[in-house]
Amino acid sequence: MAPFRIVFVHTEDRSFADTQMFGIQFMPVWAYTLAAHLAALPDLEMELLDLRIESIAAARAADLFLFTGINQDYEAIVAARAALAAIFPEARCVIGGPICWSFKTAGRIDALGMFHHVVVGDGEEIVARLVTDLRDGRPLPWLLEVSTRFALGRALPMQRPLLARTIRRYYGAVLEISRGCPFLCEFCDIRILPDNNRAHVKDPALVVAELDTLHDLGVRQVLLACDNFVGDLRWAEEVCDRILAWQDVTGKALSLYTWLTINVARHSDLLAKLRRAGFDMFFIGVESFNRSSLLETAKVQNTALKLAAALRTIQSHGVIVVAGLIFGFDTDPDDIAEVMLRGILESGLISGDPSLLTALPGTPLYTRMALAERLRDVRFGLGGFKYRTNIRYLKPAARIRADFQTFVRRYNDGRYQYERLTRFYACLDSAHYRPPRTAGWADLRRLSAMTLGNARAVRLIALRVFRLLRAPTRVWWLARALATTCARTSSQRPLWFYFKFWLFNWSNTVMKYAGLSDADFDVESVLEAFTAAQVLPVAYEASGEEHIAPGKTRAQRRVTTAALREFVGDRLEPA
């Protein structure tokens, strides 16, 4: 009997890779994770087809093609599924992952009707049974919903044979280590997943064992994927302690990057451990430097301390903060572009990229927009637009576009970028500072080795350099940045480590926003008849059946309601 062949198909919107990553890629962790839960099944062959670096022509015949993705990848996923079906019409195609949960929650699951089966929920809980039933010819419903959360304490090591065969194609690795976050941000879809308003964590011993395996396979950059690394502080401490012990015993070191929340600034001992353990970068959802905008969406953890000072404290250890930034909150002031630009400088941030507020299905923000009749029925995926959202904003659409473009122009200005860099360097003049042990996230040697043999990547690099240097003022400020870095660098503070990342990030934004115009936006504002009274729908505060304690839902609604009431208070006519 021939083995049952499974191919994990990874595809995504190409615009991100083309404008942000020099043509390099990180491994699709989901494939290696699910492969680990299939490895015990007999007579099974597994392959990975990564359409970011391979073509459909590279696909081999399979009994089952497994897909995953997020909302913005919808069009790429559909195109890949159609192409594979045309070549291998007898194969079954199944999709799972975040896109399925999101579409199901939004009532649009039929948009995935081209797949033989759709899985909603944690794949680890069902993938072995799914494959067994398909192989044995047992009937399955089209929609498979997994109500049980997978306990990360039962996680298996990533499937080693698949990892060993494919990992050298990638610049770096991804290792999922925890799920869930205890905070209550109104726009975030983490909290709405069943039992996900708390941290679910992987055994620290397994985390370190996986890091050891990856290091031995030649990996030097690892993204520790999670919703919030400090969602469970005791566990975070143990992970750091285990990594430090592993480093001491083996002498091995990796450049690590993870996602966490701003409250880590309150924990100086943990910050020091994170730095010693090799964490070079943190992604932090800063969102806005306007306090009302944060309170509006219950991002209370960012208002509980002085935001700019907290970011400087974190960076003083030698860590780069990649900041999430959002435009389009109801309470954004008229000068929001200036507020954001000023906040970035004050914080010393050298990385961060703005986006427009979007209502993700199932979130309280989605509920509020629906109750106020402010949701737009927009096509899935990014299409031909860089910025398309499903919210009707309070500000005129022209003002939303103008604010964003004003920000982008100033953001990419040479003088502004130079000042960002010097403000960041000032953060490093601290007793907390610890120099790096590795080449860091922007390893020029590895980047060169992986891109110079790739004609497409070389063209992208050439275009990036051209766009960055074609403005004489940028050349001048880049030269000043080089001189400043040379003058201030030392063995104790090797500023080249940060300079190359600053330049990498600046070239990213120049590439991404080159020629940005009104035509790149698909945004709308509220209708003329909309009144201030509709900003806070009457039913909003009482709404919200979630998979979390009712008291937490009510707490979030109270914060949002109070902020919006204050915002609309002086705009309402007396009864």
**Residue 203 lies inside a defined structural domain of this protein:** yes
Q: How many Cα atoms are found within 13 Å in the side-chain-facing hemisphere of 531?
A: 6
Predicted confidence band of residue 214 (pLDDT cuts 50, 70, 90)? very high
For residue 490, being part of any structural domain is answered with no
- CA nearest to 317, candidates 218, 427, 225: 427
- Give tens-digit pLDDT for 470-515: 999 999 999 999 999 999 999 999 999 999 999 999 998 998 898 8
pLDDT at 381 over 50: no
Total domains in the fold of the chain: 2
**Identity at 438, one-letter amino acid code:** T
Above 90 in pLDDT, residue 200? yes
CATH number, residue 279:
3.80.30.20
- Does 267 lie in the same domain as 138? no
The answer on 21 and 111 residing in a single domain is: yes
pLDDT in tens, 21-62: 656 789 999 999 999 999 999 999 999 999 988 999 999 999
561 neighbors 541 (Cβ within 8 angstroms): yes
pLDDT above 90 as % of the chain: 82
Domain that holds residue 295: 152-160+171-356+398-427
Together in a domain, 186 and 219 = yes
71 & 200 share domain: no
State whether 138 and 272 are in the same domain.
no
The answer to whether the predicted template modeling score (pTM) of the entire model surpasses 0.85 is yes
User: Would you say residue 43 lies in a domain?
Assistant: yes
Query: Is there a single domain that holds both residue 15 and residue 66?
Result: yes
User: Does pLDDT of 347 surpass 50?
Assistant: yes
Domain boundary pick from 388, 409, 427? 427
Q: Express as a percent the part of the chain with pLDDT over 70.
A: 96
Res 552 pLDDT > 80 = yes
Q: Is 388 inside any structural domain?
A: no
Strand partners, 490: none
Q: Specify the pLDDT at position 378.
A: 83
Q: Is residue 376 part of a domain?
A: no
Looking at the fold, whether 310 and 350 belong to one and the same domain comes out as: yes
- pLDDT score, position 385: 65
Give residue 208's identity as a one-letter amino acid code: V
213 and 314 fall within a common domain: yes
pLDDT tens digit sequence for 224-248: 999 999 999 999 999 999 999 999 9
Strand partners of residue 326:
355
Residues 120 and 242 both lie in one domain: no
Tell whether the model's pLDDT for residue 184 goes beyond 70: yes
> Is 469 contained in some domain?
no
- Give CA separation, 297 vs 53, 243, 292, 358, in Å: 38, 36, 9, 12
**Which CATH number characterizes residue 86's domain?**
3.40.50.2300
3-state secondary structure of 185: coil
How does DSSP assign 318-384, residue by residue? Answer: TPEEEEEEEE--TT--TTHHHHHHHHHHHHT--EEEEEE----TTSHHHHHHHHTT-B--PPSS-TT
pLDDT of residue 382: 42
Q: Is residue 564 part of a domain?
A: no
Distance from C-alpha of 80 to C-alpha of 91, rounded to nearest angstrom? 13
Average pLDDT, the chain: 93
Which residue, 411, 427, 443, sits at the end of a domain?
427
Asked if residue 209 and residue 279 are part of one domain, the reply reads: yes
Cα(394)–Cα(277) distance, integer angstroms: 45
pLDDT digits (tens, 9 = 90+) for 128-155: 999 999 999 999 999 999 988 899 999 9
Residues 62 and 125 in one domain: yes
Domain co-membership, 189 together with 298: yes
Please report whether residue 504 resides in a domain: no
Tell me the per-residue pLDDT of 146-181, one tens digit each, with 9 for 90 and over: 988 899 999 999 999 999 999 999 999 999 999 999
